[in-house]
Amino acid sequence: MHKKEYFNDAIWCHNRKETSYWLEGLPEFKDIINQPPRQVDVAIVGSGYTGLNAALQTIRGGRSTVVLESGVPGQGCSTKNGGQISTSIKPSLEKLSAKFGAQKGLAIRQEGENALKWIEDLIKSEKIDCSFSRVGRYHAAHTQKHYELIARNAEEIKRSEGIEAYTVSKNEQLKELGSDVYHGGVIFPRHASVDPGKYHRGLLQKVTEAGVDVVGHCAVLDIEKKSDGFVITTQEGEVKARDVVIATNGYTSNLTPWLQKRVIPIGSYIIATEELDPVMVQELFPTNRIASDTCKVVYYYRTSPDRKRILFGGRVSATETNPMVSGPKLLKDMFRIFPQLKGTKISHSWTGTVAYTFDEMAHTGQHNGIYYSMGYCGSGVSMASYLGMRLGQKVLGIPEGKTAFDGLPFPTRPLYNGRPWFLPAVVSWYRMQDRIQYQQASRRVVA
Ligand SMILES: Cc1cc2nc3c(=O)[nH]c(=O)nc-3n(C[C@H](O)[C@H](O)[C@H](O)COP(=O)(O)OP(=O)(O)OC[C@H]3O[C@@H](n4cnc5c(N)ncnc54)[C@H](O)[C@@H]3O)c2cc1C
């Protein structure tokens, strides 16, 4: 795409925004404080789903708690994501069993289901108004080979893990998704959608009502271990805390170098369209499921909760870029999948940084006495929430805090220091493979 097109008015709404669609209509949250307390039981760094769910546990367990956030609370991924909720465990049971044994492998996989079930219960019991719905996912195959692969996987996970999943052939596909480019897919009927901004806002309300101090614009600059706890240096002064929780995920920095060497920050990019004709939305998303595909560099998309827009996300650039550049690229890819949308404009284009890990798993535990949970590999709505909650229970010292992730090695690589120099090459390679597979598959169909 020519550079001029980035600024082509034909593809942008006149009031376009480079901020998350999910922040639209959310009033400013007032219960944020400017100065941290000088002493607390628990200090939590980061105000996303991980940090807030940990805080809800510690405050309700009787520990005074502060959440320290470098910017506006929720400014990380937790108000910027696609709002698609899956079971969030990437490695297969086979892989995990080969590595950790069958029992542990199954227990880790089960945590994905636990997280999904738990977030639904949390939203219901706390009465958080955030459009949570078990709409199910349509996972679409970009080639016939991938269709066969995911169909086999669906059978396997049904048999070995009891996970509900069923196939949809290419002939039946239009009943699920108004696109011809895919070769069928698999439905995961228990996957869910949520309004991630409202979910985050609900959590903020709950933690502040429970008595947590949430401090905005208060970056943590240093954490020093002492005999009786920690001294935390923030841009607003020092805080003494008995326990510290790191909940910084894709924004993990050299504040915690050991963690920084173990997570790979990756930008994820997403757009929201202008309001669409309801007949068109019905044609493209007849069952209202969330959707993703089998590309190595995955696309994920859905309707907005009011079914007026489409939110379309993916990784469209080998190097990190900005929403003015990623927006048109995403739009072009969306038109390839849904040619019916040609001429549609972008109303919002934004980005956030997720954290991948070298073994594609989330990690939680304690290092040098500091608690942490991170590395959700782009699927953290339920897992960050769930592991944040378990981390809070760990801080309380109660047995419920245990998870199947406990005690797993958190791998890094020699010479890796938190700056993923290898990413552009990897993303380019994957995108090229996806493109070639797409082209070959569509040539076969035409032939
Ligand atoms: C575009 C996009 C789409 C996504 N789509 C999905 C999806 O559909 N489904 C899904 O499950 N997941 C999705 N994700 C991932 C998901 O949003 C994250 O995994 C999840 O929000 C992580 O929550 P968290 O609380 O761990 O981290 P975050 O919400 O990122 O919060 C970390 C916070 O730590 C703060 N921080 C960092 N350093 C400091 C410091 N020194 N001092 C104070 N504060 C600090 C940051 O400012 C930030 O607010 C998506 C992410 C993006 C960006």
- DSSP conformation letters of 132-160: -B---EEEE-SSHHHHHHHHHHHHHHHHH
What burial class does residue 55 get, using C-beta atoms within 10 Å of its C-beta: 0-12 exposed, 13-18 middle, 19+ buried? buried
CATH (domain of 213)? 3.50.50.60
Phi-psi region of 418 (alpha: psi -120 to 50; beta: other; left: phi over 0): left
Which residues span the domain enclosing 181? 3-446
- In this structure, which residue's CA is closest to atom 52 in ligand 1? 81
Task: For residue 49, report the distance from its CA to the centre of ligand 1, in Å.
Answer: 8
Distance (Å) from CA 85 to ligand 1 centroid: 14
End-to-end CA distance of the chain: 29
**CA gap 34, 68 in Å, rounded:** 10
* pLDDT one digit per residue (tens) for the chain, 447 residues: 445 555 677 899 999 999 999 999 999 999 999 999 999 999 999 999 999 999 999 999 999 999 999 999 999 999 999 999 998 799 999 999 999 999 999 999 999 999 999 999 999 999 999 999 999 999 999 999 999 999 999 999 999 999 999 999 999 999 999 999 999 999 999 999 999 999 999 999 999 999 999 999 999 999 999 999 999 999 999 999 999 999 999 999 999 999 999 999 999 999 999 999 999 999 999 999 999 999 978 899 999 999 999 999 998 877 888 999 999 999 999 999 999 999 999 999 999 999 999 999 999 999 999 999 999 999 999 999 999 999 999 999 999 999 999 999 999 999 999 998 888 878 778 778 877 777 777 665 544
Tokens coding 223: 């954490």
Ligand 1 centre to CA of 48 (Å) is: 6
Q: How many independent structural domains does the chain possess? A: 1
**Which residues surround ligand 1 with Cβ inside 6 Å?**
45-51, 68-71, 75-78, 80-85, 219-220, 247-251, 253, 255, 268, 270, 300, 313, 352, 354, 374, 376, 378-381, 384
What are the backbone dihedrals phi and psi of residue 92, each rounded to the nearest 5 degrees, phi first?
A: -75, 165
Q: Which residues pair with 314 in a beta bridge?
A: 269
Residue 68 CA, closest ligand 1 atom number: 43
Which helix (H) or strand (E) covers residue 417, if one does? none
Q: What separation in angstroms does the CA of 447 have from each of 434, 435, 440, 442?
A: 20, 18, 10, 9
Going by CA atoms, what residue is nearest to atom 53 of ligand 1?
352
Under DSSP, the state recorded for 281 is H
Q: Long-range contacts: 146-155, Cβ < 8 Å, 24+?
A: 146/183, 146/294, 146/437, 147/183, 147/184, 147/185, 149/294, 150/185, 150/186, 150/294, 151/184, 151/186, 153/92, 153/186, 154/186
pTM of the model: 0.96
Distance 380 CA to ligand 1 centre (A): 8
- Residue showing tokens 């692969």: 149
Q: Which helix (H) or strand (E) holds 176?
A: none
Neighbour tally for 378: CB within 10 Å:
20
Q: Which atom of ligand 1 approaches the CA of 255 most closely?
A: 41
Question: E strands along 359-420, which residues?
Answer: 363-367, 370-374
245: exposed, middle or buried (C-beta count within 10 Å: 0-12, 13-18, 19+)? Answer: buried
User: CA-CA distance, 206 to 221, in Å (whole number)?
Assistant: 27
Smallest CA-to-CA distance from 79 within 25, 39, 121 is with 25
Q: Find out whether 107 and 121 touch, Cβ atoms under 8 Å.
A: no
Q: How far does residue 396's CA lie from ligand 1's centre (Å)?
A: 24
The ligand 1 atom at the shortest distance from the C-alpha of residue 88 is 11
Tell me how far the alpha carbon of residue 330 lies from the centroid of ligand 1, in angstroms.
Answer: 21
